[in-house]
Amino acid sequence: MNEHASTNLLPVEAARHRVLTVALLILIVAAGHWWTPRGESHFLVLHVLMRKLFILPVLLAAIWFDFRGAAISAAAVMLVYLPHVILQWAGHAEENVNQIGEVATVWIVAGIAGVLVRREKSALKARAQAYYGAVRALVAALDTREHDTGLHSERVCSFALRLATELKLADSELRALELGALLHDIGKIGVPDAILLKPGGLSDDEWRQMREHPELGARILSATPFLEEAVVVVRSHHERFDGSGYPCGLAGDQIPLLARVFAVADVFDAITSKRPYHEALSDAVAVQEIEESAGSHFDPRVVEAFRSVPETEWRELRERVSAESGE
Predicted local confidence at residue 162, as pLDDT: 96
148-325: CATH class: mainly alpha
CB 85 within 8 A of CB 99: yes
Report cis status (omega within 30 of 0) of the bond before 247: yes
The count of C-alpha atoms lying within 13 angstroms of the C-alpha of 217, restricted to the half-sphere facing its C-beta, is 31
Question: Is pTM beyond 0.75 here?
Answer: no
Query: Domain coordinates of the chain in residue numbers?
Result: 3-123, 148-325
Phi and psi of 278, rounded to 5°?
-165, 155
Q: In whole angstroms, what is the distance from residue 178 CA to residue 261 CA?
A: 11
- Spatial CA neighbour of 157 closest among 135, 141, 125: 135
241 neighbors 297 (Cβ within 8 angstroms): yes
Given a contact cutoff of 8 angstroms between Cβ atoms, the answer to whether 317 and 162 are in contact is yes
Contact yes or no for 247/259 (Cβ under 8 A): no
What value, to the nearest 5°, has the Cα angle with vertex 288 and ends 152 and 284?
Answer: 65
> In this structure, are residues 174 and 4 in contact, taking their beta carbons and an 8 Å threshold?
yes
Q: Tens-digit pLDDT profile for the chain (327 aa)? A: 444 444 344 567 788 899 999 999 999 988 887 777 665 556 667 777 888 889 999 999 999 998 999 999 999 999 988 887 787 776 677 777 888 888 899 999 999 999 999 899 888 888 878 877 778 777 777 777 766 555 888 899 999 999 999 999 998 899 999 999 999 999 988 888 888 888 778 899 999 999 999 999 999 888 888 788 889 999 999 999 999 999 999 999 999 999 999 999 999 999 998 766 667 889 999 999 999 999 999 999 999 999 999 999 999 999 998 888 765
Q: Select from 276, 309, 317 the least CA-distant residue to 290.
A: 309
- Calculate the CA dihedral of residues 121, 163, 16, 55 and round it to 10 degrees: -20
Tell me how far apart the terminal alpha carbons of the chain are, to the nearest angstrom.
18
